[in-house]
Chains A and B, each alone.
Chain A
Amino acid sequence: MQNKFRGVMQSPITPLKDDYSLDLPTFEKVLDFHVRTGAPAISWPHHKGESLSLTIPERKRFAEATVKVVAGRVPVTIHVSALAVEDTMELAQHAQRIGANGILAITPYFWTPTREAIHDYFIRLCTSIDLPVLSYNSPSYLAGVEITGDLMSRLIERLPNFVGVKEASFNSEKFLEISRVALSLRPNFALLTGVEFLLPSVPLGGVGSYSAAGSVCPNLCAALFEACMAGEWPRARELQYKMTRLWHLFKDQYPSSLKGGMVIMGRPVGPTRPPLPTATKERQVFIEKELADMGVLDSEPHGW
């Protein structure tokens, strides 16, 4: 059976009002925009959705809105990673209660946990709910804390709902090892990556990614995925290079610049919560120039 988590899945940004409070009506528009422009799944709130700058009640409130607005049109996963593991457990329970289709969880923040501690964490999390769990591996952001191939195999063998990974090491050797181990034990394991890095991952068994730039360029996301799955590598390279220019533009002060880019695309979503900055007018002018140079203003949808 094909895994339902595949393709370039969208993780919406979190719209804020000028006073930094949550902007629900705009969030509903963002969600609907992603579904209408071809997102194969929705996942919220990623780091790009300022997850760690939201309170736990805020996260619950918008998780409920996500499930309600998407309304079964595509699968919804809730990103439950929180600074306190106890909050993560609570968010996972909540995701199940509100009818989400799965959760996503990174290795614990800050403490640089040992491999055994990571193992125990995922066992506890996955056995506390019945939902499918996607793990999230990001060693370069978390001081080398990672899910190794060996740990992955122990978790897959033990946990029937451990169904995939967002593998964001962006490293050929690490990705290959996880792919080899995971797919041999669970052939429909969802091997995903971050930031639309499809080109280097699909030949090694990758079936999709989350998206950094999808709220600006959903068409490019879809085209890149299709080219990779069809094995049209020269075309895929061109699209990935274009995507890289967008990533280069947005990764600076991510997601502030992305929110700035959405203004240019006619989909304003408000400021970014401190400590991250909000894209200035000057920055927006620069972003507009870059988007124009890449042809994004002509090839991607404007407005909601």
Chain B
Amino acid sequence: MSEFEPGLVHTPVTPFTRDNRIDYDTFAKLIEFHLRSGADSLALPMHIGESVSLTDEEQRALLAFAIKQVNGRKPIIAHASDAGSAIAADRARHAQGLGAAAIVATTPYYWTPPAHMIVEHFAAIGAAVSVPFFVYNSPEEMPGSKITAELCLKLIDRLPNFAGVVDLSLDWQFMIELLTYAKRRREGFALIAGTEHMVSAAATGATGLFSPLAGVAPKLIRKLYDSCRKDQLVEARGAQEAVAALRQHLKSSGHFKVALRTMGRDCGVPRPPLQAPDAETARALAATLEPMLRDEPRGF
């Protein structure tokens, strides 16, 4: 397995038309925007891209479209999570066939299997491909199935292509314990911050960042990421606080698309069951965000 460094990974939303179909014209423009705005890699369709609301066929078509559009300019990490191990493994295999540079997947949706079954689930997905495989640890989104450092060590023994963890837990104990032990077994094992709380993660040794917010504030995110990678951790605190403030307003997917529209990059509204905020909430949100995003690029 060759070493793959995801770097600053932008995670684009999925634009929808008024009648709820994937809006590929806008998606092409959005991809170009991400590539121009500092993405080292793209990961899609992540949860911010409403992966769970796309059919299997749509997920495959979306990935194929993105790979064609990017045309080798940057690596694409394909998200293959599903409830069933075989469904997820098959999607991962297909993604590698299309040219995905790596695969990322989280614990099974809905089921809350014990640790040894989670290991089997990940082993099935990871073994379906030869490209690097990343585990997505998101305890808030996936309550009931806990990813521990111990579980990851077992997976290292099982999968030669298990390359790292994308961490949304923000949990210092998990991050430090994971790196302390995983790096002793697999030197290139990577911790990747799964939210834009990068400073503490980078301090512990994280080398990458999955960022939904990069679609809204790419300059700020790039600044935060670069400072962290240069080990200017104390200096990064200002950017980190600005990012944290922005995150507070954009936690829900409906709000996120309002932010994109505010920045002149209209990607429609989310698919059901997610709901866009009502007009008044959206106006208030836009007014709040405007001064926070003054230095960020407008339009596609």
Contacts and interface: CB of A to CB of B under 8 A. Distances in A.
B180 A197 contact: no
Contacts of B236: 203
A97 interface: no
Interface string A167-178: 000111111110
A203 B176 contact: no
Interface in B187-234: 195, 197, 199-201, 203-205, 231, 233-234
Nearest to B231: A233
Interface stretch (A8-16, A114-122, A237-245): A237-245
A281 interface: no
A195 B237 CA distance: 22
A43 interface: no
A176 B183 CA distance: 27
B200 A248 contact: no
Contacts of B252: none
B231 A199 contact: no
A94 interface: no
Nearest to B184: A241
B197 A176 contact: yes
Interface stretch (B27-35, B40-48, B114-122, B165-173): B165-173
Contacts of A231: 231, 233-234
Interface string A142-182: 00000000000000000000000000001111111100100
Contacts of A240: 176, 204
Contacts of A171: 170-172
Given A203-B233, A203-B237, A237 B173 contact: no
B200 A241 contact: no
A200 interface: yes
B202 to A, nearest CB: 8
Q: Is the interface of A mostly helix, strand, loop or mixed?
A: helix
Q: By CB atoms of chain A within 10 A, which of B170, B172, B179, B234 has the most?
A: B172
Given A172-B170, A173-B170, A231-B233, A199 B176 contact: yes
Given A170-B171, A241-B176, A245-B180, A233 B203 contact: yes
A233 B201 CA distance: 12
Given A172-B172, A197-B172, A203 B234 contact: yes
B240 interface: yes
B151 interface: no
B173 A170 contact: yes
A166 to B, nearest CB: 14
A243 to B, nearest CB: 9
A200 B179 CA distance: 13
A81 interface: no
B58 interface: no
A170 B179 contact: no
A170 B177 contact: no
B244 interface: yes
B271 to A, nearest CB: 28
A244 B244 contact: no
Given A173-B244, A204-B237, A244-B180, A199 B203 contact: yes
A201 interface: yes
Contacts of A99: none
B170 to A, nearest CB: 4
B233 A233 contact: yes
A234 interface: yes
B228 to A, nearest CB: 9
A177 B170 CA distance: 13
Nearest to B245: A180
A234 B231 contact: yes
A205 B172 CA distance: 15
A203 B177 contact: no
Interface in A9-64: none
Contacts of B195: 173
Contacts of A170: 171-173
B247 to A, nearest CB: 8
A28 to B, nearest CB: 33
A241 B237 contact: no
A203 B180 contact: no
Given A176-B200, A231-B234, A241-B179, 16 more contacts: A171-B172, A172-B197, A172-B199, A172-B200, A175-B200, A176-B240, A203-B203, A203-B234, A233-B233, A240-B204, A241-B180, A241-B183, A244-B176, A244-B180, A245-B180, A248-B180
11 contacts: A172-B172, A172-B199, A173-B170, A203-B199, A203-B234, A204-B200, A233-B203, A234-B231, A237-B205, A240-B176, A241-B176
Interface of B: 170-173, 175-177, 179-180, 183, 195, 197, 199-201, 203-205, 231, 233-234, 236-237, 240-241, 244
Q: Which 9 A-B pairs have the closest CB atoms?
A: A200-B200, A203-B233, A172-B197, A172-B200, A170-B172, A172-B170, A241-B180, A244-B180, A233-B231
